[in-house]
Structure 1
Amino acid sequence: GVRTRKNTKKVLALRSSLKPAEFFIINLSISDLGMTVTLFPLAIPSAFAHKWLFGELTCLCYAVCGVLFGLCSLTNLTALSSVCCLKVCFPNYGNKFSYSHACLMIVGVWCYAMVFAVGPLANWGHYGPEPYGTACCIDWYAPSQDTLSMSYIICLFLFCYALPLAIILLSYILILITVRGSRQAVQQHVSPQTKTTNVHILIVKLSVAVCIGFLTAWSPYAVVAMWAAFVEPSTVPPIAFAFAAIFAKSSTTYNPVVYLVFKPNFRKSLSKDTAQIRKRICSSPCKGSPVPGEKDLQRQTSLRCNKDASNSTRLSNGLVDSHGACLHCTEAGPHCQQTPPQRTARVLISTSYSEVTVRQLPEKMQNN
């Protein structure tokens, strides 16, 4: 009904306020949430039990979800960096980047990740338990026995680590060069220079955070994968696979920190929503929920208060004596209380007016 229409309007308003590039951040949140929901509830109890607890089929699904959501996040970061580079370094083309282009690229990100996630199901590589025994992922021992598995690991390293890393580094290097050139072009103007300096600092922080986060999360897995593929797998200690998996799953933590903390528009939106929630909580007229019949009594009291407030007495000096009762909420009690009316008058003393209560009026007149 009405609430559904309101929610629909809110969604449409949110969509219209988003820039096309920000759809990648939403997609990144979806992939990180998918990894968190599908992996952690199974990995945590298995870690406490020191063994995999959920059977072979669940192990296979766990591995597929881990590769799918992990590669989707990784590829999404690559697409986002390339779009940012396009908009900053090549604005003639970047300004033409629309919502349809963003949606098309997001579909491509999921298809790209799906190819490598489904590959082991078609015997291009294999899934199996991790060497440390409490999770499932790609079978790192298979490349030493199978040529297809070896080709899968090599393609995974090239197209899901080396190529994305190169694109991210190149994109942010070009962005930094472009922003640095813009900063030097406006050095004669103080205000634009300050603004450009702030933008430059923000982009430097974002670039460093993205690159460090990417390297920290995925480099251990890449090193361990190459180690297991080209060296005797038995020489790789299980603890190395465990640490590689932990660092890879840490991407669900650093991605929100990087793109929500370093993005000013997201901070503004978050603070705005928080302020609205706080305003709704604090704008209630009284604490506690009224008992049946109390709401009508409060309305009658409010009307009577307004009526009393409109009553006034005109004094001999031509000024108006206004009085009335007002409703106030006290923190001590959950209900509204009515304060007694205060009648006041303004008295001319020398060349200035003084406001006193009616009770104090005789004493004031005697003193003057």
Structure 2
Amino acid sequence: MDVFRALGNESLLSNSSGPARWDPFHRPLDSIQPWHFRLVAAVMFVVTSLSLAENLAVILVTFKFKQLRQPVNYVIVNLSVADFLVSLTGGTISFLANLKGYFYMGHWACVLEGFAVTFFGIVALWSLALLAFERYVVICRPLGNMRLRGKHAAQGIAFVWTFSFVWTIPPTMGWSSYTTSKIGTTCEPNWYSGAYNDRSYIIAFFTTCFIVPLLVILVSYGKLLQKLTKVSDTQGRLKTARKPERQVTRMVVVMIIAFLICWMPYATFSILATAYPSVELDPHLAAIPAFFSKTATVYNPVIYVFMNKQFRKCLIQMFRCSATESAESNMNPTSERATLTQDKRGSQLSIMAVRSTIS
């Protein structure tokens, strides 16, 4: 508790505004109208509610239906768990803080939210990178005919959680800190300090937890598209390859665009605040990227799961309270294996590649 209070005091000093020192733990920022906080609270309530409902549905339906329990779906469930926890901790605390207009819950809650949102958010980002790498391995087969098994997915998930914890725990132990944002109703890593201790952490954190997973996503999906295009150009029956290729291409483009839209504004703001700590940023503008990045927890289930035909059928079946056996018997295995759900050979996308190469 002493550590939390010390970190809170540091964040208090870093958020002074003008001649009169502003305490984000005791009163709202004077330059922001009360209805602005209530508007943000309403937005966070909607985003948090949608995220909790969607990600909980992903987790429940995957555990309920046996045909969904495949290695690639382990990563998708891991992504949903991370997004669920981001909304449960950061979304809930942010909603309550914006209702009051300041971080009335105190220093410990600030550190808790800063750590939890950063930790689970990085788990989600690296889960996206792991999912992209898995698809690259299955389609491009750089490792030969090695099949993706449950133990491989489990090892990847264990790496994601361990790696994320290693890079988000240092601010609670003295290497940088978690502090209130410019608006005073959320907490995050201390982007605003010009001290060497803070800047060194931010640079290392940004490189390992944003640039690296982004490169993994872009390179993996780039190789995947290159492979599918090559297969389409070199085999004779183009009609059999065009439809799966269009589906995969569309999904890949949506994935990359959604990733960049959600996280690039926040990453850009973080770089700017770290590189130029003396720059005075308007609290309204400074708050937008952080709140916008939290909407990724709503988009991820839609893009990665709800666009999956097999998952949609299982989800409808679950809400209709029908037996699992009837849902399995009504499935069309041939059509479903061409979706984004894992098949018996290691991935749904491998079926697309196999079909496009058979004459």
The alignment partner of 1:137 has SS state of strand
Aligned residues: 265
Alignment pair present for 1:181 and 2:230: yes
Match of 1:262 in 2: 307
Match of 2:338 in 1: none
Match of 1:210 in 2: 255
Q: CA deviation at 1:121?
A: 1.1
Alignment pair present for 1:76 and 2:146: no
Q: CA deviation at 1:274?
A: 4.6
Change (3 A) 1:216 1:160: same
**Structure with the greater alpha carbon radius of gyration:** 1
Match of 2:83 in 1: 32
Q: What pairs up with 1:1-368 in 2 under 5 angstroms?
A: 14=65, 17-90=68-141, 93=144, 95-142=146-193, 144=194, 146-187=195-236, 189=237, 193-274=238-319, 277=322
Match of 2:349 in 1: none
Change (3 A) 1:44 1:17: closer
AA aligned to 1:264 is K
Structure 2 Cα separation of the partners of residues 35 and 11 of structure 1: 20
Change (3 A) 1:73 1:105: same
Change (3 A) 1:94 1:133: farther
Q: CA deviation at 1:236?
A: 2.5
AA aligned to 2:315 is L
Structure 2 Cα separation of the partners of residues 19 and 57 of structure 1: 39
The share of aligned pairs that are identical, in percent, is 25
Q: CA deviation at 1:269?
A: 2.7
Q: CA deviation at 1:12?
A: 8.0
Provide structure 1 residue ranges, at least 5 long, that are not aligned to the other structure.
Answer: 1-9, 280-368
AA aligned to 1:124 is W
Change (3 A) 1:23 1:39: same
Structure 1 Cα separation of the partners of residues 145 and 105 of structure 2: 48
Q: CA deviation at 1:112?
A: 1.1
Q: Deviations over 1:107-145 (max 9, x none)?
A: 100011111210101212211111111111112222x0x
TM-score (norm 2): 0.68
Verify the 8 A CA contact 1:140 1:233 in the aligned structure 2: no
Q: Deviations over 1:199-238 (max 9, x none)?
A: 1111112111111111111111211111111113442222
AA aligned to 1:136 is C
Q: CA deviation at 1:264?
A: 3.2
Match of 2:353 in 1: none
Change (3 A) 1:11 1:219: closer
Structure 1 Cα separation of the partners of residues 176 and 302 of structure 2: 34
Provide structure 2 residue ranges, at least 5 long, that are not aligned to the other structure.
Answer: 1-60, 325-359
Structure 1 Cα separation of the partners of residues 81 and 91 of structure 2: 15
Say which structure, 1 or 2, has more relative contact order (CA 8 Å, 6+ apart). 2
Change (3 A) 1:119 1:195: farther
Structure 1 Cα separation of the partners of residues 155 and 261 of structure 2: 29
Change (3 A) 1:70 1:94: farther
